[in-house]
Structure 1
Amino acid sequence: MIDTSNLMVSVSGVRGRVAEGLTPEVIARFAAAFGAYAIKRGPGKTVVLGRDSRVSGPMFARAATAGLQSVGCDVVDVGIAPTPTVQLAVEDLKAAGGLAVTASHNPIEWNALKFIGPTGMFLDAEEGAEMRAFLEGDIPRAIWSDLGGYSQDEGAVERHLERILEVPFVDVDLIRSKNFHVALDCVRGAGGRIFPQLLEALGCRVSAINMETDGLFPREPEPVAENLGELEALVRSSGADLGLATDPDVDRLSLVSGEGSAIGEDYTLALASMLVLRHRPGPLVTNLSTSRVMDDVAERAGVPLVRAAVGEINVARRMQAENATIGGEGNGGVILPDVHLTRDAPVAAALVLQLLAETGKPLHALAAEIGRYEIVKEKVPRPAQPLDAVYDALAARFPEAHADRQDGLRLSWAAEKRWAHLRPSGTEPIVRIICEAPTRADASALVETLRAALP
C-alpha cells in the first residue's frame, strides 16, 4: 500500500511535493490503478498522457507510462501540452481516459496526476471512489504478451487550436482587423505550446516573456494579481492593449489592462460571459467562491446564475445539468461547452479579444462597467476535528443569511451584497476563508469572524 500521509488525494487527482511523498513509485501505482479502472470502464484500452513543463515532469511521465502499460493500456503521449488539450485529446481519440502530469498552479517543488474520464472530463466523486478501489486492492497486471503499447500524438495542440477558432461567436477576421498588441506571460509553462499560435491566428502583435517550456518558473506560478508585476511592467513599456497571464497547465487566465494594472482573475470569467451571453443567452454556472460580479453579469443579461461546489468537475457537471451557455470559476477558469466542458485559458483569451473587438472599448472600461467588490482570502491550518460543528455554529449565529452547505459553508446577504465562504482545501492541508463585500473593511471583518470561529 502507498503512504498517502504526505499526499493530497482528491476525487480527480493526487498531488504532492517531489521526493516528499510524491515519488516515481507512487506515480506508477496510481497510474496502474487508473489504467485498470479505465480498461474496466472502457471504451477500449487507450489512455492519453500529457504533462506541463515541470522539471519533474519527464520522470513522472515515464513512471506513469510504465504503470499504464503494466496493466495493458496503450499509451498515447501528447508530450508537453495544456491540460485542456489533454482532455480534448481523450475525446478526439475516443480513449478510455487520460492522465495529466501537472500540479497546475502549485509551486515548482510540487507535481501531480489528474485523472480524466472517457468524456474528457475529470473524474467525479463516484468515479474517483471506483478508481481508488483498484489502488487499495490488488491491481490486475498484464502478462508479458498483453502489455500496453506506446505512441505519440503530435497533433493534439493543433486540434485544440482549430476547435477554438471554430467557436461560432469568435470572429477571427474581426479580431484580426483590430491588430491588438498583446503582452503575454506563460510562466515558462505549457502555454508556450499554444498561445503564440493562437495569437498569431488572431492577428495579434505579441510582446512575450517566460515562454520557455522548461518549468523553471520565474515567479509564483499562480496567476493572481500580486504575481504579475513583470507582466504589468511589460504592458506599460511595450504599449500593449492588454496583458495575458496563464498558469503552468494553461487552464487559468488572468488579465492586465492597457494601463498596466492586473484587474483580478475574477474578471476573466465575467468578461468572457459578457461576450457569450451577448450571442447566446442561457444559464450561467460558477462556484460558491466566485465573486458576485457574476451575479451582476447574469442579472444584466437576464439569465439565471447557478452556483456549484468548488472544483472544475462540480461546475462542469452542473453545467451539463443546467444546459449552461458558459461557466467556470473565479480563478480565471472559463468553461465553454462549444469547445469542451473544461477550464481553458486559450478559450478565455479568444473570448476576451472578441469582446474588445466587438465593443471597441479598452479592457479597463469593460471591467469598470461590471463594477467592483472587495474580496479577501485567507488560509488557516486545517483543524484535526470535523468542521461540521463550526458550520452549524456559524449558520445559527447568522440566521438572516442564506446558508449553502454544498461545499463547506457559504453565508450570503444578498441585499448587502456580501458573502462569506469557509471550506477545506482539496489540494492543500488548509481551510480557505473567502469573503466579499462592497468595502475591504467589511470583507476583512467577515474573515476575522470566520477565523475566530475555527478551533
Structure 2
Amino acid sequence: MTLIKSISGIRGTIGGKPGDNLTPIDAVKFAAAYGIWLKDYSKKQKLKVVIGRDARLSGEMIQNLVVSTLVGLGIDVVDLNLSTTPTVEIAVPMEKADGGIILTASHNPKQWNALKLLNEKGEFLDAAQGAKILEIAEMEDFDFSDVDDLGEITKNDSYIDIHIDEVLNLSLIDAEVVKKAKFKVVVDGVNSTGGIAIPKLLKEFGVEVVELYCKPNGHFPHNPEPLKEHLTDICKLVVEEKADFGIVVDPDVDRLAFISNDGEMFGEEYTLVACADYVLGKTKGNTVSNLSSSRALRDITQKHGGTYEAAAVGEVNVVTKMKANKAIIGGEGNGGIIYPESHYGRDSLVGTALFLMLMAERGGTVAELRASYPSYFMSKKKIELTPGLDVDGILTAMADTYADEELSTIDGVKIDFAENWVQLRKSNTEPIIRIYTEAKSQAEADGLAERIIGEMKKVAGI
C-alpha cells in the first residue's frame, strides 16, 4: 500500500493506516492544506472551488470528504460529481472559481485514488505552489470557519455537455464535415466517465458508436492504462464490427489512444502526432512534447515548417514550455493532447475531434494514416523501487557511463544516440524507475531497454 505526496497532488491506495495510504484522514488533511494555501494565495474573502471525479469505486467517499473539508474552511464548492479531468479544467475559469480539485488516480488501477490540484486558470499548480501545500499539510496549521461562515455547495451536472459544446465551437472543428464521412467507432471507456463523455461527443459528429465498457460504475474490466497488452477486447471488436477505428481513454479522460481499422494499435505516441498533423496543416506554428515522447512529433512539426521543443515530463512543464514557445499544439506521448485554443490541459475530447477532422478530410483508413508517418517504435519498461535503492546514484552513474553521448538531465537522464534514445527517470506517480526507449524497430527498442536495465541493475548491485 502506498501514499505518494508530490507537487502535483496526493495519490495513494485506499485503506490501511494514515500516512501510509490514502485514508479518509489523509484526504481531509490534504484538502485542508489546499484550502488554506488557496486562501493565502488568492487574498480573497470568499473563495469558490470546482470539484469533479472519475467513476472509480472510492470516488464518492473521497469526494464527500474533500467537499466537506472545503466547506468547513468557508469555501464554496461547485460539485460536478462524475466528470473528466479536462471538463473540470474548463469549468474552473467558466465558473470564475479560484481553483479546482479532480479526484482521480488517472491510469492507476482501482485501488488507487488521488487529489489533482488546479489554480484559478484551471491549470495544474507549479512546483513552488505544490511544495507549499505539502508544507502546510505536514504542519497541520488549519483554521476552520465558524458555523455562520461555512461554505455552500452548488451541484452542476451539465459540464460534460458544456465541454462538448466548447469542442464543437473550436475554429478547426466542423461537425458537418465529419457527418458526411459516416464513421463507425468502437469506444472503450473502461467503465469510467469516458463512457459518458466520448460517446456523447461522437454522436454530435454523426458517428455510429459501439460502446464497450462504457458504464461508469468504477469496475475497471482491464488495467486502465491504455497500453496494447490491456486492450485485446477492443482490438478484436473493431475488426468484428468492421469499424473505422476504436477509441480508448483512461478513467479521467486525459489520455487518448486509437485502434486502427485492422485491430492494431495506432500507437499511443501517434495520437499527438496525428492531431498535430491536422492542426499544423491548417495553422503554422510550433509544438512541444515531453522528453519521453516520440521523435515523430519533431519530424511532423519540421515538415510543416514549425519548431519543436522538448520539456521535462509532467503536464505543468509541458504547458510552461508551450507558453514560452508559443506552441499551437502540444502534449505528451502517452496520448495527452493540449490544444491552447481550448485550454492548457490534456483533453481527450479535443483530441478525438481533431482526429475525426483529420480522417474526414484526408480519407483512407486509419491503418493507412499510421503508415504515412515516420516509423518509430517504443519500449516502456519499469523497475520497482525497493527500500535502500539509491535512485539518484544509479542515474548519475548511467549519465557518467554515457557522458560522450548527447545527454539531457533536466528530467532524469535522457541519452540521445544517433538512431535511438533512452530515458531513465523516477516516476512522480508510482514507486518505480521508468525506462523508455525509442528506435526504428520494436526489436531494437526492446533490446536497448533490456541492455540499459541490465546495466542499471549491475550499478545497483541487484
List runs of 5+ in structure 2 lacking aligned partners.
Answer: none
Deviations along 1:271-313, whole A, 9 cap, x unmatched?
A: 0110010011211100011111212212212211111111111
* Count of residue pairs the alignment pairs up: 449
What is the identity, as a one-letter code, of the residue corresponding to 1:146?
A: D
Q: 2:68 aligns with which of 66, 69, 82?
A: 66
What is the identity, as a one-letter code, of the residue corresponding to 1:257?
A: S
Which secondary structure state, in structure 2, belongs to the residue aligned with residue 108 of structure 1?
coil
Distance across 2 between alignment mates of 1:398 and 1:436: 17
| Alpha-carbon shift at residue 208 of structure 1 (Å) | 0.9
Deviations along 1:345-375, whole A, 9 cap, x unmatched?
A: 1111111110001111211111111132221
Q: For residues 5-404 of structure 1, what are the structure 2 equivalents within 5 Å?
A: 6-20=2-16, 21-42=21-42, 44-137=46-139, 138-382=141-385, 384-404=388-408
Which secondary structure state, in structure 1, belongs to the residue aligned with residue 217 of structure 2?
coil
Distance across 2 between alignment mates of 1:185 and 1:381: 29
Contact 1:183 1:243 in 2 (8 A): yes
Q: Give the TM-score taking structure 2 as reference length.
A: 0.94
CA distance change for structure 1 residues 399 and 136 in 2, over 3 Å: closer, same or farther? closer
| Alpha-carbon shift at residue 28 of structure 1 (Å) | 1.2
| Alpha-carbon shift at residue 394 of structure 1 (Å) | 2.5
Give me the identity figure in percent: 39
Which secondary structure state, in structure 2, belongs to the residue aligned with residue 194 of structure 1?
helix
Deviations along 1:98-121, whole A, 9 cap, x unmatched?
A: 111111110011111111111101
Deviations along 1:68-89, whole A, 9 cap, x unmatched?
A: 1111111110010011101111
Deviations along 1:303-358, whole A, 9 cap, x unmatched?
A: 11111111111111111111111000111110000111000111111111100011
Contact 2:72 2:145 in 1 (8 A): yes
Which secondary structure state, in structure 2, belongs to the residue aligned with residue 410 of structure 1?
strand
Contact 1:373 1:437 in 2 (8 A): yes
Contact 1:382 1:424 in 2 (8 A): no
Contact 1:80 1:193 in 2 (8 A): no
Which secondary structure state, in structure 1, belongs to the residue aligned with residue 381 of structure 2?
strand
Distance across 2 between alignment mates of 1:132 and 1:391: 26
Which secondary structure state, in structure 2, belongs to the residue aligned with residue 266 of structure 1?
helix
Distance across 1 between alignment mates of 2:447 and 2:216: 42
- Give me the CA root mean square deviation: 1.5
Q: Give the TM-score taking structure 1 as reference length.
A: 0.96
Deviations along 1:30-61, whole A, 9 cap, x unmatched?
A: 11111111222226410111000011111110
Contact 1:391 1:409 in 2 (8 A): yes
Contact 1:39 1:96 in 2 (8 A): no
Contact 1:73 1:148 in 2 (8 A): yes
Distance across 1 between alignment mates of 2:99 and 2:86: 13
| Alpha-carbon shift at residue 67 of structure 1 (Å) | 1.2
What is the identity, as a one-letter code, of the residue corresponding to 1:403?
A: L
